[in-house]
Amino acid sequence: MAATHARPVMDADPNKSLSRPVDYVWALARISIGWVFLWAFLDKTFGWGFATPAAKAWINGGSPTTGFLKGTAHGALGGFFSGLAGQGWVDWLFMAGLLGVGLALILGVGLRIAAVAGSLMLVLMWAAELPLANNPFMDEHIVYSIVLIGLAMSGAGRTLGLGNLPIVRHNPILQ
C-alpha cells in the first residue's frame, strides 16, 4: 500500500482566525496598497512636496485631479477626462475614494467595498491614460485592481487587521 503525503486541509471556515504564511503575504499586500491610497490622499491634501507641492495642496485651494486629468488630453478618452479636471464634485469623490479605500485596506475592514471602489478608480485612471506608453493594455492600475479583488476574496482583513472583530465577521458589508 502506497503512503500518501497529502497536506492537511486547513479549516475553510472564514470566521476562524487561522493564519498561514500566505495570509501574512496577503495582509502585507493589503496594508501596502492601502498606504499607496492613503499617502496619495495625504500628499494631495497637505502638499507635503512628494507628488504635490504645498502651493497646490487641496487645503490651499488646489485641485487634486487637475494635474493628472489635464495631462490626459492627448489620450483616446482625453477630451472626456480633461473635461472633469478641477471640478469640485470630481475632486471630492476622488479624495473620498483615496481616503476610504486607503483606510479600509490598512484597517482590514470593508475590503469588498474597497475592492470595488478602488478598482473603479484605478480602471478610470487606466482609461484616462489610453493608449498606454509602455504596453498595449496592461499597467499598474490593472495589476492593483486584480490584487484588490484578490484581497477581498481571500479575506485578507482577518490577518493583521480588524477583520476578525465580531461586528465585521457578522456583517458581510464590513468584510
In a domain, 97, yes or no: yes
**Structural domain span for residue 88:** 70-174
In a domain, 166, yes or no: yes
Predicted pLDDT of residue 7: 42
The alpha carbon dihedral of 32, 59, 91, 124 has a sign of negative
Residues of the chain above pLDDT 70, percent: 90
In a domain, 41, yes or no: no
State the DSSP string of 13-49: -TTS----HHHHHHHHHHHHHHHHHHHHHHHHHH--S
Q: pLDDT digits over 3-46, tens only?
A: 544 444 344 455 455 679 999 999 999 999 999 999 999 999 99
- 138 or 74, greater pLDDT: 138
Q: Is the separation of the CB atoms in 122 and 144 below 8 Å?
A: yes
Cell of 56: 497646490
Per-residue pLDDT at 164 exceeds 70: yes
Whole-number average pLDDT of the chain: 89
d(CA 53, CA 11): 50
Cell of 173: 458589508
Lowest mean pLDDT among 16-20, 94-98, 117-121, 161-165: 16-20
Mean pLDDT on 104-112: 97
Cell of 110: 470593508
The count of domains in the chain is 1
In a domain, 75, yes or no: yes
Instruction: Report which DSSP code applies to 138.
Output: -
Residues of the chain above pLDDT 90, percent: 71
